Amino acid sequence: MLDLIRLLRPRATLFGAGFDAFGEWGLSFRKRDDLLFCRIERGECQLVRPGYATRHIKKGDFVLIRTSTPFTLTSNGSVEPVDSETAVSVSKRNKLRLGSGEGRPVTLHAGKFVVETANEALLTGLLPQLIHIAADGPSLGRIRSLLAMNEMEAREPGPASEFIILRLVELILVEIMRSHHLQESRENKGLLAGLSDKITERALAAMHRDVARNWTVADLAELSGVSRSKFATRFRKVVGTGPIEYLLQWRMALAKNELQAGIKSVSEIAFAIGFQSSSAFSSAFTREVGCPPSQLRHPNRVGPT
């Protein structure tokens, strides 16, 4: 998990000061493959996604959503929504106002998580498309404590409040990723699901601990205490890819991170992640990533490749 967080380095950005809505209103979000979050400070609304059941979100709720499909926040599903990007671009206020009148007020704060560009694809398979943490739902102690701190800071802002709120939201994401309750979501495949599975967890931990080792499916199956065929089937079902394919993807993720850091040479990176030559690494990297390692190297790097 720590390896993953170090590669992603998630950072939160807020969408201005949030928005206030009254009466009948709707705000739509386009398909962007971003990871957005929102917290309801007061009132309630609906979250509508094509092909999914409508979600009712209330005061104190926190929602984490990937915009792999468009979605709408609305007072009810029959209202024609305003496009969020258009509304923000034409508004001259830091805090958006929607609807009309003063009835049924809703205040909502939203933003998105930004991760290191080189490995942002890792995030796609980590979390379900939607995570809804209800204010009155089953306990997720640390997350709820962070949300309470976030709400207090928003209600009683002081010096550096925006900085504090952003760091709290980032910690909320990390806690969501750590939560076994969410890792076991049937909607999820990937590393987090694999780390919560009794069969695949040992194999994943071993590959991350010794990424340079020449692992075989038989080695990993023995570590996991099951037959080779059972292990391979289970790994693909839970993680979403074969074990050796996963190992290669993880090696490439580590390599992209090192290349952008610009500290190690290509040959040093190659040997550190299990390749016997820089040429073999370069060929594999180009095949998997779509460009040679030199294209991702930090521009200030000086030294041999």
Assigned domain for 82 exists: yes
**Which pLDDT score is estimated for 181?**
47
191 vs 168: CA distance, rounded Å:
24
Assigned domain for 190 exists: no
**Which pLDDT score is estimated for 124?**
64
Same domain, 216 and 174: no
113 vs 47: CA distance, rounded Å:
19
* Mean pLDDT, the chain, integer: 85
DSSP string, 77-141: TTSPPEEHHHHHHH--SSSEEEESSSSS-EEEEEEEEE--GGGGGGGGGTS-SEEEE-TTSS--H
pLDDT band at 303 (very low <50, low <70, confident <90, very high): very low
**Which pLDDT score is estimated for 299?**
54
**Which pLDDT score is estimated for 30?**
94
Domain that includes residue 28, residue range = 2-182
Assigned domain for 187 exists: no
Same domain, 151 and 295: no
**Which pLDDT score is estimated for 302?**
43
Q: Each residue of 178-219: pLDDT tens digit? A: 765 454 555 567 777 888 889 999 999 999 999 999 999 999
Same domain, 94 and 240: no
Same domain, 116 and 16: yes
Same domain, 99 and 70: yes
Q: Average pLDDT of 250-264?
A: 91
Same domain, 118 and 201: no
Q: Each residue of 88-147: pLDDT tens digit? A: 888 877 889 999 878 899 999 888 888 766 667 776 666 778 888 888 776 567 777 887
128 vs 6: CA distance, rounded Å:
21
Assigned domain for 191 exists: no
How many C-beta neighbours within 10 Å does residue 26 have?
Answer: 22
Domain CATH number, residue 117:
2.60.120.10
Same domain, 177 and 221: no
Domain count, the chain: 2
Same domain, 170 and 204: no
Total number of residues shown for the chain: 305
